[in-house]
Amino acid sequence: MNEQISIIELVLNASVVVQCVMGILILASMVSWVMIFQRGFALSSMKRESIAFENEFWSGKDLRKIYLEIDASEHEKMGMEHIFSAGFKEFTRLRQQKETDPDRIMQNVQRAMRVAMSREEERLETSLPFLATVGSTSPYIGLFGTVWGIMNSFRGLATVNQASLSVVAPGISEALVATAIGLFAAIPAVIAYNRYSAQVEIIVNRLNAFTEEFSGILYRSLQRQ
Amino acid sequence: MNSTVSYSISVFLALALHAGIVAVLLLNWEDQHQIDVQEIEKFYIDASVVAENPYRARERRESAARENQRRQRIAAEKKAEAQRKARLKKVEEQKALAAEQAAQQEAEEMSRLDQLKAEQALAAEQAAAAEQAAAEEMSEEERVRLEQSLALAVLEEQEYRRAVTDDEKAMAYVAQIQREIIQNWSRPPSARNGMQALLQVRLVPTGEVVDVAVKESSGNDAFDRSAILAVQKAERFVVPTDTRQFERNFRVFEVLFRPEDLRL
């Protein structure tokens, strides 16, 4: 027997089913890592922007000026900006329509902000379900590949006259590579999923708090009139 | 951050990560998995067939007889040689005598020169003829002897070759029998290193064991019984189908039981 089996040989000599499993797992690992990086960037930029917006919001600047700045800016409205602009747009529109009942105005404004809020939440949570799926299923896929490979190598053992470890060992080894790849795909996905869902929750809480505060400010301004 | 930019960066990072991991795996695989494979070779039990090969004994006897023959032949040749020499000597003497006579006659009678000459020539001729005859006789004898020895050598060579291949085949069968007996041998607790029992086993040409007898006891009944049981459990051995070989090596053979792996 060859004194050393390289991992490449193991993968290339595996049976078709095991190779398919390995391919699926490698693909899943690739995509999940793309998601991990992308989510990482998106969440951190979201956090940064919301902090920047909060600073601007509480700086005592005129709200109308802030709204106009946001409306004029090129880039997509995100997070707090989005909620703020949705609420403020609704507020000004109702004011222009000579709506006088503060409760009805507030209801509409809050509804508009809720819609924006749910949009934001949706955007925050994109691709988190994919990470969860990869994290929970790829060990099973890998295990399937391993079981299949071991099954085959034992079936081969049945036809061999003199059963020795060197007959089954390569088959088992190549089958175990499938489990290894499955775990390799699953572990980062699970870690990233947990971490990102915690971050999303923090951001959503912050957005909720902002929504309440902003509606409070608007309500006060209505009552002042 | 623009989403397409972030996606392309992510794709790039993910690809780089996987490529890096694969590279690390490939580089380290060879070093990490250097496992020293040690061949473990242990022979715990030595149950060897120690039967005196009857064929070898016969061969020895035959070769001794041949040697004897050869010696006798050499002695006979020597004798013949001596005889031949004596004959030659006689012929020479005759010749010398004839020459002497001729000289006498020459001295005495010159007139009978012609006759004498003729006589001399005759004598010489006779001598030559005798010599030639002797030589011919010798060469004939030698040729026959040479031929005989050549044929003998060829025969010997053939015999030897067959014996060697037969022995090799027999060794394979012996090893097989040994394995089987070892497999079936479970030693009693009272067995000790250094004990040995010699068993005589008789087989029929199908390889079945018909008789097992203790030839030299180990002094421990349980041990002897375990040895007998080991042979009996095997019931049937694989033996050569060639009857000649079977008769020579496997009809009756002896097995030596000697445990070597025990701690006591």
Q: For the segment A52-83, what is each residue's pLDDT rounded down to a tens digit?
A: 888 988 888 888 888 888 888 877 777 888 89
Contacts of A154 by beta carbon, 8 Å cutoff, 6+ apart: A168, A171
Is residue B109 within 8 Å of residue B92, measured between CB atoms?
no
- The better pLDDT of the pair A112, A173 is held by A112
Cα-only R_g, chain B: 43
- Asked whether residue A144 is domain-assigned, the answer is yes
pLDDT-derived band at A3 (thresholds 50, 70, 90) equals: very low
* Number of domains into which chain B is organized: 1
A19-33, A206-220, B104-118, range with the lowest pLDDT:
B104-118
Give the domain extent around B126.
68-168
Most A CBs within 10 Å, among B10, B35, B40, to test the A interface: B10
Whether residue A7 and residue B11 make contact (CB cut-off 8 A), yes or no, is no
* Number of domains into which chain A is organized: 1
H-only helix segments in chain A: 7-13, 16-57, 63-72, 79-96, 102-124, 128-159, 165-224
Give the domain extent around A12.
7-158+167-224
- Asked whether residue B76 is domain-assigned, the answer is yes
Whether residue B33 and residue A29 make contact (CB cut-off 8 A), yes or no, is no
Whether residue B18 and residue A34 make contact (CB cut-off 8 A), yes or no, is no
Of the candidates A174, A165, A160, A149, the one whose C-alpha atom is nearest the C-alpha of residue B37 is A165
- Residues in chain B whose beta carbon is closer than 8 A to a beta carbon of chain A? 1, 3, 6-7, 9-11, 13-15, 17-18, 21, 25-26, 29-30, 33
pLDDT tens for B231-246 read 888 878 888 877 787 8
pLDDT at position A7 over 80: no
pLDDT-derived band at A139 (thresholds 50, 70, 90) equals: very high
Cα-only R_g, chain A: 28
Q: Which two tokens stand for residue A155?
A: 């079936």
Per-residue confidence (pLDDT) for residue A1, from 0 to 100: 39
Q: Please state the rounded mean pLDDT for residues B108-137.
A: 77
Which of A183-187, B43-47, B89-93 is most confident? A183-187
- Asked whether residue B224 is domain-assigned, the answer is no
- Asked whether residue B77 is domain-assigned, the answer is yes
Nearest to B1 among A7, A41, A184 (CB): A41
pLDDT-derived band at B40 (thresholds 50, 70, 90) equals: very low
- Asked whether residue B4 is domain-assigned, the answer is no
- Asked whether residue B174 is domain-assigned, the answer is no
- The better pLDDT of the pair A19, A6 is held by A19
Average pLDDT, chain A: 87
- Asked whether residue A2 is domain-assigned, the answer is no
ipTM computed for the complex: 0.75
The β-bridge partners of A27 are none
Per DSSP, which regions of chain B are E strands? Answer: 45-49, 197-203, 209-216, 252-259
Per-residue confidence (pLDDT) for residue B41, from 0 to 100: 46
A35-39, A144-148, B199-203, range with the lowest pLDDT:
B199-203
A149-163, A202-216, B142-156, range with the lowest pLDDT:
A149-163
Q: CA–CA separation, A196 vs B246, rounded Å?
A: 82
Q: Which two tokens stand for residue A85?
A: 């602009």
- Asked whether residue B153 is domain-assigned, the answer is yes
Is residue B178 within 8 Å of residue B231, measured between CB atoms?
no
- Asked whether residue A1 is domain-assigned, the answer is no
Per-residue confidence (pLDDT) for residue B189, from 0 to 100: 81
- Asked whether residue B75 is domain-assigned, the answer is yes
Q: Please state the rounded mean pLDDT for residues B194-213.
A: 84
